[in-house]
């Protein structure tokens, strides 16, 4: 079983070697390489942004001319939003390309047409018969202060209309099947554009940051690690969710500067509904802009009878934490 993007291909290789069901090596590669992923979705006729794999300056400039600004630059392979940029000005292109190249190593990068709209996160499973089901769907809040649109909160269930939720689930489930997933969890992001949902990317694993380990069960009643293990073993296990409650994964943002003290962590952890809370910063370290997922300052996982209750509980925990900082010259 894999819990991280970097483990998807090794887990597929190991499963094949010892006779577990696994997702298969070819499917794993389609799920970790965005050029292969987008090509598979294109062949299946699924809604996604216009895109191009960039191998040289000519293709880059052609994409900029064709798509216009804003556009998205991202590594063909990578995880945790490292090297992903939303470019809104011409003078940001060079920096975005440099970051994407650094994160992608030898695998190159892609450029996509920017699609405006709310981001929707989805976790679910595909069984051995090729039936895919979204177990939990959440809406995502992202920072918009820079070209790095890092998530700041994921709230469950998504505050969408019944028709929008159905359209999103249908596209996600078809996307998982089109990549060849069988007996696997998946984590998929969608943009709900003005013409309907559009695929962003899909991982052949459960969502990180306590999504698979905690949030899926709190919202759907499906214990994701157990379901994933039983699928890998070839068991006949239900992947149909039931609505159980609400949850949120809210990220903590410290004020910019050098951290001198952090107070209120124990009090925040003791509040109702708080199941996970952590701060990555330590006194003496500098806080500031967040450019990718693993650079975030901290997190809170809260659950409740409803989405609104979970969100309110997370907000109370964040409010209980105090950061003392010393301002330093930029």
Residue-wise DSSP of 139-164: EEEE--SSS---EEEEEES----HHH
Domain made up of 51-113: CATH architecture: 2-Layer Sandwich (3.30)
Instruction: Note whether 19 and 25 are within 8 A (CB).
Output: no
CA dist., res. 137 & res. 156, Å (int): 6
Helices and strands in the chain, H and E counts: 10, 15
What is the value of pTM for the model shown?
0.89
**Mode of pairing for the β-strands spanning 184-193 and 119-126:** antiparallel
CATH superfamily of 246-326: ATP-grasp fold, B domain (3.30.470.20)
pLDDT tens by residue, 60-86: 888 888 888 888 888 888 765 677 888
Q: Is the dihedral of CA 216, 218, 222, 225 positive or negative?
A: positive
> Widest CA span of the chain, in angstroms?
60
From-to residues of CATH 3.30.1490.20 in the chain? 51-113
pLDDT, position 93:
81
| Strand (E) or helix (H) holding 61 | helix 57-67
From-to residues of CATH 3.30.470.20 in the chain? 5-48+115-232, 246-326
pLDDT tens by residue, 215-250: 999 999 999 999 999 999 999 999 999 988 999 999
Angle at alpha carbon of residue 33, lines to 236 and 82, rounded to 5°: 110
Could you tell me which CATH number the domain at 5-48+115-232 has?
A: 3.30.470.20
Please give the DSSP secondary-structure letter assigned to residue 213.
I
Distance between start and end Cα atoms, the chain: 44
CB atoms within 10 A of CB 328: 10
pLDDT, position 214:
95
Residue positions counted in the chain: 330
Per-residue pLDDT of the chain (330 residues; tens, 9 = 90+): 887 888 999 999 999 999 888 889 999 999 999 999 999 999 999 999 999 988 766 778 888 888 888 888 888 887 656 778 888 888 888 888 788 877 766 778 889 999 999 999 999 999 999 999 999 999 998 776 555 567 789 999 999 999 999 999 999 999 999 999 999 999 999 999 999 999 999 999 999 889 999 999 999 999 999 999 999 999 999 999 998 899 999 988 888 889 999 999 999 999 999 999 999 888 988 887 665 656 678 999 999 999 999 999 999 999 999 999 897 655
């Amino acid at each position: 079983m894999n819990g991280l993007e970097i483990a998807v291909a090794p887990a597929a290789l190991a499963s094949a070697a010892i006779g577990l069901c696994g997702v298969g090596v070819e499917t794993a590669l389609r799920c970790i390489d965005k050029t292969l992923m987008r090509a598979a979705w294109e062949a299946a006729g699924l809604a996604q942004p216009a895109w191009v794999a960039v191998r040289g300056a000519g293709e880059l400039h052609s994409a900029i001319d064709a798509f216009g600004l804003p556009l998205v630059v991202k590594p063909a392979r990578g995880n945790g939003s490292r090297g992903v940029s939303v470019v809104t000005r011409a003078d940001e292109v060079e920096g975005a390309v440099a970051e994407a190249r650094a994160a992608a190593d030898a695998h190159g990068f892609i450029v996509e047409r920017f699609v405006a709209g709310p981001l929707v996160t989805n976790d679910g499973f595909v069984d051995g018969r090729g039936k895919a089901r979204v177990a939990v769907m959440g809406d995502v809040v992202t920072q918009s202060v820079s070209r790095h649109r890092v998530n700041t909160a994921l709230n469950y269930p998504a505050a969408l209309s019944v028709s929008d939720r159905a359209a999103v689930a249908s596209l996600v489930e078809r996307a998982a099947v089109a990549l060849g997933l069988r007996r696997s969890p998946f984590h998929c992001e969608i943009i709900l554009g003005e013409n309907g949902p559009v695929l962003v990317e899909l991982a052949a694993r459960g969502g990180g940051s306590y999504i698979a380990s905690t949030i899926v069960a709190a919202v759907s009643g499906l214990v994701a690690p157990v379901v994933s293990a039983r699928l890998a073993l070839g068991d006949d296990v239900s992947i149909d969710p039931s609505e159980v409650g609400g949850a949120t994964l809210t990220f903590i943002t410290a004020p910019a500067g050098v951290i001198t003290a952090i107070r209120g962590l124990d009090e925040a952890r003791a509040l109702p509904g708080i199941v996970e809370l952590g701060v990555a910063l330590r006194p003496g370290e500098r806080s500031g802009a967040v450019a990718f997922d693993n650079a975030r300052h901290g997190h809170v996982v809260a659950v409740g009878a409803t989405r609104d209750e979970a969100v309110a509980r997370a907000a109370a925990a964040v409010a209980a934490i105090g950061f003392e900082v010393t301002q330093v010259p930029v």
